[in-house]
Structures are given as structure tokens and as C-alpha cells.
Amino acid sequence: MTRIRSMLLLAMTLSGLSGLGNVYAAEAVEGSAKFEKLDQCVEPTSVMRRNHFEFIKHQRNLTVHQGIRGSKHSLAGCVDCHARKDTEGNFVPVNAEGQFCDACHDYAAVSPDCFSCHSTVPGEK
Amino acid sequence: MSKVEQQGRREFLKGTAATAAISIAPGVMLHSLTADAAPRTEAVTDKVRWGMLIDANKCADGCTDCVSACDKENGLDLVNMPEGADESLWERQRPRWIRQVSLKDNLSGKITHLPMMCQHCEKPPCVDVCPTGASFRRADGIVMVDRHICIGCRYCMMACPYKARSFIHAEVAEKLTHTPRGKGCVESCNLCVHRLDNGQTTTACQDACQHQAIVFGDLNDPESAVSQALKKYPSVQIRADLKLNTGVRYSNI
């Protein structure tokens, strides 16, 4: 029991630390992301849950090597739709604790590498 | 069996028709792309070869407009000096896609200024040496790095005769959507590839140059501004002895 409790405490401390240094001020506001106003993602939800990484891996090769940027699947598209805003109207990174990407990836203990290079908030448009 | 054959033949005919349509009017297609500026949906081809002519006579001493425009366009100004790093080391190693180079002729004392960046070689040494295939030449002549494959060995930096490549030494906090950037990868000028793929036909450095020293365009199109300028004025490739057939040419150096 104590072991589980100490592990929980450690996890909480670590996740707290990772939140440091981000620019967003406050809590993300529910309903502030584009996807929350839409019926469906670019594919049915069950398909997206199972295959989103295949889609964006395929797309990344097409974009980098062939210059195709108008495709249905794109990481920039994921971020654009799934990033929420905080109370001050600033975007909260999609991979921040409890946000769209983190929510499942944390549970599944899979750490996506995308955001060591890619932007975590929607781009200028 | 015969059904399959028929389908194959039909597909073949369809394909031939499409190719014919493209080869009839490459110039027209380019113009229409500029007009609606839609993101590219079809793969780039070697019908286009992007290139540049830089007039060193027009390039002014002390002007860094192209460098700062490049920094802003490609998010290089968002890369900060790592804490505790040596400042002179940072100045030498910070990522830069364009360098301002001054040349002095020892005989006459004449000083020439020019911007130096990736020369987008037809036979790029960086691509030759890359052990993973991350360094590659796109069909339309742009030499790029696929950061998904780059292992950060920096062999390409050693191979490049133009010192065009930079290495990202530390994690980057803020990056632009169209220019991903992370620790451990090499990068260099990509002729503002995100602009070209979204239907624009200019680069940031060209737009920023007040002296009109940079002409950018399609080297394969004899009617393009860059082809016309190359035809009209004498120009050279830097290190032409290496026979790399660079996409970036210079005049008056």
C-alpha cells in the first residue's frame, strides 16, 4: 500500500515539474478547442484511436519528400483542432498534462516524440 | 484475367492523358497556383528546378535584411542561447541559414559582400555522405534534411563546401508550425519550402532585399525572371571546380 502511495506521490511531483516553464497562465478551458464543436475527427473516432500514428507517419513522408501539404491527415491539423485555450485566451500545449495528447499517452505509458521538434500550439494563420 | 488486363490498359491511358496535360502547360499551372495559393496536393516533380541569382554588386555593406528576414520566417530568432553557454561559441555555432560573407581582392582592395546559404546543388555532397538518407534532394531541386531520419552525425556539415548547415545543440522551447526544430538535428536553407508548397513563389530573403539583389525562380522555365537574368548577365557558381551544378548563382564577384 505504502509503495503504491509513494509511487503516486512521485508521479505527481514529476508531472508537476514537467508543467513548469510553459507560457500559458491558467487552466485550459473546456470547450475552447475546435474539436469540441465538431461531430467527428477526419476519420471516425474508433479509427483515429487505433491508427492516428499510422496516418501522420505516412503523411510526414509525403510532406517532407514530396511537398504535399494539403492532405487530410497532418500533425499540424491535430494540433490546430485539439489545442484548448486558457482563461486568458492563450493556447495550452496539446501535450501538457491532462491535455488531448497527454490524456491517453500518459495512461498508455507511451511518450510521443512528435513535440521535441513540432509546435504544440496552433500556428499563425 | 481479361478483365484485369482491360483495367490495366485503361489506367495506363488515363495516366498518359494526365501527363500530357501537365507537360503542355507547366507555366500556366504555376500561375494558377500563385493565384489561389492552395497547399500542394500532388507530389513535386523535376519539371521545376528552383534557383536563385544573387547580384553581389547590389548587396550593400552592413545590410542584414535577408538574414533577419530568414531568421524570422524560419523561427531561427526563437532559438535562444543555452544557459551558461559561452557567448563567442554561441555566435559561431548558432543556427543560421544565411551568412553574410565579405570577400577582399588583395590586388585591388575591392571588397564584395554576398549572402551565402545552401547552394542547392544538383549533386550535393551532403546527400552523398549522409549515412541514413536524411539529407536528400527533392525532385524540384531543393536540398533538405528529413529530421525524422537525421541522427545528428554532422557528416553533411563537414562535406558541405559552403558551410551552409547548422546543428541544433540544445532543446528549442518555441518553434513555428511550418519549421519544426529539435535538439540533435542538422538544418539549412530550404528555399522557404513551406511557401512554395503553399503556392507562393517568393522566398523571405528575396522579399526582404531592398536592393533587389536576389532573383528567385524556376531555372527550368526559360521565361522566369531568374532564367532571363541568368541569360542576360554573366554569373558564376561558387566552387564551380567541384562540378556540383549549384542552384544558387552569383554575379559580379
The ipTM estimated for the assembled molecules is 0.79
Do B32 and B74 reside in the same domain of the chain?
no
Task: Give the number of other CB atoms < 10 A from CB of residue B199.
Answer: 18
- The beta-carbon neighbor of B198 closest among A60, A69, A118 is A69
Assign residue B150 the CATH number of its domain: 3.30.70.20
Q: Quick check: B61 contacting A, CB < 8 Å?
A: no
For residue B167, pLDDT over 50 is answered with yes
Whether A67 and B44 lie within 8 Å, measured CB to CB:
yes
**Same structural domain, B106 and B5:** no
Size of interface A-B (CB pairs under 8 A): 63
* Domain count along chain A: 1
Q: Is residue A11 part of a domain?
A: yes
* pLDDT tens digits, one per residue of B193-212: 999 999 999 999 999 999 99
How far is residue A91 CA from its own chain's centroid?
12
Q: Residue A34 falls within a domain, yes or no?
A: yes
The domain of A87 spans 2-116
Q: What DSSP string runs through chain A?
A: -HHHHHHHHHHHHHHHHHTTT-S--SPBPTT-SGGGG-S--SS-HHHHHHHHHHHHHHHHHHHHHH-----S--HHHHHHHH--BBTTSPBPPTTSTTSHHHHHHHHHT----GGGTS-SSPPP-
If you ran DSSP here, which 8-state letter would residue B187 be given?
E
Closest by CA to B126, choosing from B76, B170, B188, is: B188
pLDDT tens for B41-74 read 999 999 999 999 999 999 999 999 999 999 999 9
pLDDT at residue A15 greater than cutoff 80: no
pTM, two decimal places = 0.80
Same-domain check for residues B115 and B217: yes
Rounded-to-integer distance, Cα B169 and Cα B171, Å: 7
B26 and B88, same domain (yes or no): no
Residue B3 belongs to domain spanning: 1-36
pLDDT (mean) for B88-110: 94
Chain B residues with CB-CB distance to A18 below 8 A: none
Statement to judge: residues B20 and B134 lie in one domain: no
Task: Assess whether B222 and B106 both reside in one domain.
Answer: yes
Q: B229-243, pLDDT tens digit by residue?
A: 999 999 999 999 999
Half-sphere exposure of B155 (CA within 13 A, CB side): 15
Q: What's the distance, CA B151 to chain centroid? A: 21
Q: Within a domain: residue A85?
A: yes
Distance from C-alpha of B173 to C-alpha of B176, rounded to nearest angstrom: 10
Q: Is B91 helix (H, G, I), strand (E, B) or coil?
A: helix
Say yes or no: A89 contacts chain B, CB-CB below 8 A. Answer: no
Assess if residue A122 is contained within a domain: no
A124 lies in some domain: no
Q: What's residue B11's pLDDT? A: 54
B177: chain A residues, CB-CB within 8 Å: 76, 79, 118-119, 122-124
Band (A124; pLDDT cuts 50, 70, 90) = low
Q: Min CA distance, A93 vs chain B (Å)?
A: 11
**Chain B neighbors of A64, CB-CB under 8 A:** 144, 146, 148
Residues B22 and B136 in one domain: no
- From first CA to last CA, the distance across chain B in angstroms is 65
Q: CB-based contacts of A55: which residues, under 8 Å, 6+ apart?
A: A43, A48, A73
Q: Specify if A123 maps to a domain.
A: no
One domain for residues B176 and B128: yes
Interior angle at CA B217, CA B211 and CA B219, nearest 5:
125
Q: Are strands B50-55 and B214-218 parallel, antiparallel or unpaired?
A: antiparallel
Residue indicated by cell numbers 522551447: B173
CA distance A119 to A117: 7
Cβ distance B42 to A122 less than 8 Å, yes or no, reads no
Amino acid at B184: G
Contact A122 B177 (CB under 8 A): yes
Taking contacts as CB-CB distances below 8 angstroms, the residues of chain A near B193 are 67
B65 and B188 both lie in a single domain: yes
- Residue A125 in domain: no
Top residue of B40, B174, B178 to mutate, by most chain A CBs within 10 Å, is B40
Question: In this structure, are B182 and B123 located in the same domain?
Answer: yes
Q: B37 and chain A: CB distance < 8 Å anywhere?
A: no
**What ranges in chain B are assigned the alpha helix state H?**
2-24, 26-36, 65-73, 87-93, 125-129, 155-159, 193-197, 204-208, 225-232
Q: Give Cβ neighbours of residue B39 (< 8 Å, ≥ 6 apart).
A: A69, A70, B197, B198, B199
Are residues B56 and B21 part of one domain?
Answer: no
Residue A1 scores a pLDDT above 60: no
B47 touching A (Cβ < 8 Å): no
- Are B14 and B108 members of one domain? no
Is residue A81 in a domain?
A: yes
Query: For chain B, how many structural domains are there in total?
Result: 2
Q: Are B42 and B21 in contact (CB under 8 A)?
A: no
Per DSSP, B192 falls in state: S
Which cell numbers in the block locate residue A29? 478551458
> Closest to A70 (Cβ–Cβ): which among B41, B182, B193?
B41
Quick check: B210 and B201 in contact, CB under 8 A? Answer: no
A22: distance to nearest CA of chain B, Å? 9
**Is A94 near chain B, with CB under 8 Å?**
no
pLDDT (0 to 100) of residue B38: 85
Q: CA–CA separation, B200 vs B203, rounded Å?
A: 8
Residue, of B9 and B218, whose pLDDT is higher: B218
Q: Which of A98-107, B31-40, B126-135 has the highest mean pLDDT?
A: B126-135
B185 has a chain A CB within 8 A of its CB: yes
